[in-house]
Amino acid sequence: MHNPFAAISGSIPPLAMQIYVAAMFLLVVAGTLIDLAHKGSARYFFKHRRRANRGATRRVGAGETAALAAQTLVVSVLAAGEFCSFWRRATHLLTMYGFVLYVITTAVLVFVYPTAAAPGPAILPALWYAGAALVCAGGLWYWLLQRVDVVAEGNPRFRLVRADLFSLSLLASAACGLIWAPLQAAGDGLWAKVFFGLYLFSNTILFGSVPWSKFAHMFYKPAAALQRRIEEANGFRANLPAPADRPATFGSARRRPRNY
């Protein structure tokens, strides 16, 4: 029930905290645009979409598109349906929902209840703590037990690559926040300042490294998942043979294998 942002309003003006949060938001927007421009993801996406529209065998109406969008939101985004493993999906959902809760409650506490005179309802700090704890639970579970490259390629467990920047900085932000806030509430000024500095540093890395991390993927992966569902509905098949239930467009008809 301790609002850590309201407690530091005596030493750090609320306006400074709000400017910092706004700057982090702008870094995410700018970093995502840089990522799209550098990798050519947007250009490739729209080029592929035009190709899919030309190669479609049927037209998908507005109502069907809306239904596919709702299905993508529920299955691919909210339920992380792209993961076949239940445990991998569980770690992803813990981290994702924890991150969303962590970010939203931070914005509300900083912009709406930034002072000790009006710390806000007790449920908001509790949700902030819960979001950070979910991030730590999902992130540590993945890093210590489920790293894909460790299982598939036999790499060392703590081998780091640039793509790990997002998950590690997010994990560091949540962990430092969970340590800083209780230290501040207990009145331990020195260590509270140390972990508050680490908290700011990890957040700056998290939101400032978007062009080099996987942060931007969370924005255009749903669009790619929706486009894939539309292609399945309109009959477009990119670089794939015709289904087994109909003959191919060239050569002889497909036959069932002899060992079927």
Weakest-pLDDT range from 63-67, 91-95, 145-149, 244-248: 244-248
Domain count for the chain = 1
Domain of residue 156, residue span: 4-233
Task: Tell whether 127 is covered by a domain.
Answer: yes
User: Quick one: pLDDT band at residue 256, thresholds 50, 70, 90?
Assistant: very low
Task: Tell whether 62 is covered by a domain.
Answer: yes
Check whether 260 has a pLDDT greater than 50: no
User: Quick one: pLDDT band at residue 126, thresholds 50, 70, 90?
Assistant: very high
Task: Tell whether 134 is covered by a domain.
Answer: yes
pLDDT (mean) for 143-163: 68
**Across all residues in the chain, what is the average pLDDT?**
82
Could you tell me where the DSSP H helices lie in 154-235? 165-185, 189-208, 217-234
Task: Tell whether 26 is covered by a domain.
Answer: yes
Q: What is the pLDDT of residue 238?
A: 61
Q: What is the pLDDT of residue 177?
A: 95
> Residue 179 and residue 191: Cα distance in Å, rounded?
9
Name residue 101's amino acid.
Answer: L
Q: pLDDT digits over 198-208, tens only?
A: 999 999 999 99
Check whether 58 has a pLDDT greater than 70: yes
Task: Tell whether 258 is covered by a domain.
Answer: no
Q: What is the pLDDT of residue 255?
A: 47
Give 16 or 227, the one with higher predicted confidence. Answer: 16
Task: Tell whether 246 is covered by a domain.
Answer: no
Check whether 136 has a pLDDT greater than 80: yes
Task: Tell whether 152 is covered by a domain.
Answer: yes
> Residue 255 and residue 246: Cα distance in Å, rounded?
10
Task: Tell whether 249 is covered by a domain.
Answer: no
Q: What is the pLDDT of residue 239?
A: 53
Q: Are 74 and 222 in contact (CB under 8 A)?
A: no
- CA–CA distances in Å: residue 85 to residues 92, 148, 222: 11, 12, 19
Q: Are 72 and 78 in contact (CB under 8 A)?
A: no
